[in-house]
Structures are given as C-alpha cells and as structure tokens.
Amino acid sequence: MADIQIIEEPEVSPGSRLAVVASRYNRAVVDRLLDGCLETLADKGIPASAVTVIRTPGAFELPVVAKRLAAGGEVDAVIALGAVIRGETPHFDYVAGECARGLAAVAVEHALPVIYGVLTVDSEEQARARAGGGHGNKGTEAALTALEMIAIMHKLGP
C-alpha cells in the first residue's frame, strides 16, 4: 500500500480561471447560489478578475454556454448554477434531465470539470433550503468542487 499514489483534496491551483454559468429563471434562488459560489471562490483566493459570470435564460440553456466556454480553452472549470422546480407538467423532467445530460457530455468531451450546481427539487421551499437555508448553499459546494477538480486535473497533467 505504501507505493500507491492517492490524489485527493489538493490545494487550490494558483492562476485558476473559472466561468460560472447561472440561470435567470428562478432568479431569487439562483442568485443565492451565485452569491455563495462567488463568496467561496473569493475566500479561497480566486481573484474576481479570474471569474466570468454568464447568465442564461434558464437551465436548459446552460449546456450550450458551457460547451462554448469549454471549446474556447480559456477556463479551467465551468460551474453551472440553476434551479428546476417540479410543477404540474412533465416540463421538469425534460429540463432537468437534458440539462444534466448536456453538462455531463461537455465535461467528458472536453475533459474539463463542469460542475453541476443545478437544484432539482419538488418545491420552492426545498430550493430555498439548499440555497443558503437549512441544507447549506449548493453554490458554495459547487465552488469547492470546482477548485478541487481543477487541482486534480492539474496534478494529472495533460
């Protein structure tokens, strides 16, 4: 076991560049996710000049923007933030499923961390609880995950 290399919880990589793609739909919730994300990045030493925030109309549009960013090669990670709240129609299933599938496809295609910070919940109460309420802030978690993944990818090399 002594010869096994374990790469886990590395330090923040200096010079990291990130993009945060945040939906405007369910803005009250997403803005709280975005605040948590940006505060965490700043607390971890990422300068504001190294972060680009792009707002999309909704969660369905997050993957196409993430793909453009990934293809540009100027960011080390993309953090996608949104909130899809179940309603009375199957719209939730299509939006949430395609958003997740699209973001995962971008990550794999470009070997780039694309962090899924999209809430998929049954109610606004559940969304608020996960956007700075009783269940923490998933925007904060997304920022921490992005930083860890950037460090892992740098450690692994090209």
- For residue 29, how far is the Cα from the chain centroid? 15
Interhelix angle for 62-72 vs 91-110, to 10°?
10
Helix ranges (H only) for the chain are 27-43, 62-72, 91-110, 124-130, 138-156
Q: Is 126 left (phi over 0), alpha (psi -120 to 50) or beta?
A: alpha
Q: Which of 91, 110, 135, 154 is catalytic?
A: 91
The partner residues of 115 in beta bridges, in order of sequence, read 79
- C-alpha closest to that of 35 among 22, 18, 46, 49: 22
Q: Could you confirm whether 91 is annotated as catalytic?
A: yes
Number of other residues whose CB lies within 10 A of the CB of residue 65: 18
Number of other residues whose CB lies within 10 A of the CB of residue 112: 21
Give me the active site residues, please.
91
